[in-house]
Amino acid sequence: MRLENSELRAFRAVIEEGGFKRAADALHISQSAVSQAVAGLESKIGMSLVQRGKELRLTDVGKRLFEHAVDVLRDEQQTLEDIAQLKQGKTETLNLALSASLNRFYAPELISTYYQENPRTRMKVSEMPARSIISAVLSGNVELGLGPFQKDMAAFATTPLYTDSRHLVVSPRHARYQQMMRGDECALKLTPLIASALDSPDMRPSIARLRDQFSTVWEVSSLSLRIHMVEQGMGVTFIDRKLLLEHPSCV
C-alpha cells in the first residue's frame, strides 16, 4: 500500500479548509478530484477518515492520518525549498538536535552566538530525547547533537561541554513517597516512570532496561509537563541537577 502525496495533500486541504469545495478551490483542482483522492485513501486503508455531515469530523483513523499528512507534506515543502536554495548557491543548512534540558538552559546563548558568526546559514533545530539524538546523528539526519553522552560513543566525535548528574525524583504528594525515600524497590515497581522516550530494546539488554524497574512507562515529550506530572504525584522521572534546583518540590 502506498499513500501518494497528492492524496494526502487533498485530504489535508479538506480538513484545513473545512470542506471538499473549499479544498478544491484552494488546490485549484475540481471538487471531484478532491473527493476521489480522499476516497482513494479510505479504500487503501479500509476505514473512513471523515464523518460527513453539516460539519466534517475526523475519525480516530483520520486524526492519525492527518498528523501523518501534515508531517509528510511539510517535509516535502522543506525539501523543495532546500533544493531551490542549493541550486541558487544561496545558503547552507545546519541541522541541530538538542536535549530538553540543554535547550532550556544553554540553547538561547549558543544559537545567538552561532547566528552572529554565521548569519547566512539556515538552521533547523529539533528538541529530542537523548537517545534519539544519538540515532539522528548516526543516521545523518542531523549534523550536530547536543545532549548527554551515552555509554557507547565510539562512533562519534565528541566534545565535552560541561558535566551534570541525573536524579530520580518523586514528589511528597506521591502515595508511596515515604517508602521510596526509604529505598523500597517494591514501591518503584508500583509506580510509573515518566520519560521522554522508551529505550530501544536493541540498545539495552532486557535485564538492564530501566523501564523494567517500574510499573509502566509514560512517554511525555514535554519537559515541563513531565515535571508537572511528578509534582502532582503521578509518577517519578529523571531530571538534571540544574532542573532539580529549580523544582524543590521534587526530591
Q: What is the pLDDT of residues 168-196, one digit of tens each?
A: 899 999 999 999 999 888 998 999 999 88
Cβ within 8 Å of residue 120, ≥6 positions away: 90, 91, 92
In a domain, residue 74? The reply is: yes
Whether residue 170 is found in the same domain as residue 231: yes
Query: How many distinct helices (H) and strands (E) make up the chain?
Result: 11, 9
What CA–CA distances, in Å, run from 186 to 19, 179, 214? Answer: 54, 9, 9
What is the number of domains present in the chain? 3
Given 87, 112, 136, the domain boundary residue is 87
pLDDT score at 205: 43
The arithmetic mean of pLDDT across residues 101-108, rounded, is: 86
206 confidence band (pLDDT: 50, 70, 90): very low
89 confidence band (pLDDT: 50, 70, 90): low
pLDDT score at 121: 82
pLDDT score at 147: 84
d(CA 149, CA 131): 9
Report the b/e string of 116-132 with b at 16+ CB within 10 A: eeeeeeeeeeebbbbbb
Give the residue with greater pLDDT, 79 vs 66. 66
CATH number at residue 140: 3.40.190.10
d(CA 146, CA 158): 10
Given 39, 69, 87, the domain boundary residue is 87
Range of the domain at 96: 91-146
Whether residue 82 is found in the same domain as residue 9: yes
Q: For 118-132, 139-153, 206-220, which range has the lowest pLDDT when averaged over its residues?
A: 206-220
pLDDT score at 96: 92
Alpha helices in 89-125 (DSSP H): 100-105, 107-117
pLDDT score at 204: 47
201 confidence band (pLDDT: 50, 70, 90): low
Proportion of the chain above pLDDT 90, given as a percent:
38
Whether residue 138 is found in the same domain as residue 120: yes
Q: For 29-33, 73-77, 100-104, 245-249, which range has the lowest pLDDT when averaged over its residues?
A: 245-249
To the nearest 10 degrees (0 to 180), the angle between helices 31-45 and 20-27 is 110
pLDDT tens-place string over residues 15-66: 999 899 999 999 999 999 999 999 999 999 999 999 887 788 899 999 999 9
75 confidence band (pLDDT: 50, 70, 90): confident
Residue 70 has pLDDT above 60, yes or no: yes
Give the residue with greater pLDDT, 227 vs 249. 227
Whether residue 32 is found in the same domain as residue 102: no
Whether residue 173 is found in the same domain as residue 240: yes
Give the residue with greater pLDDT, 71 vs 85. 71
The grid coordinates listed for 94 are 545546519
6 confidence band (pLDDT: 50, 70, 90): very high
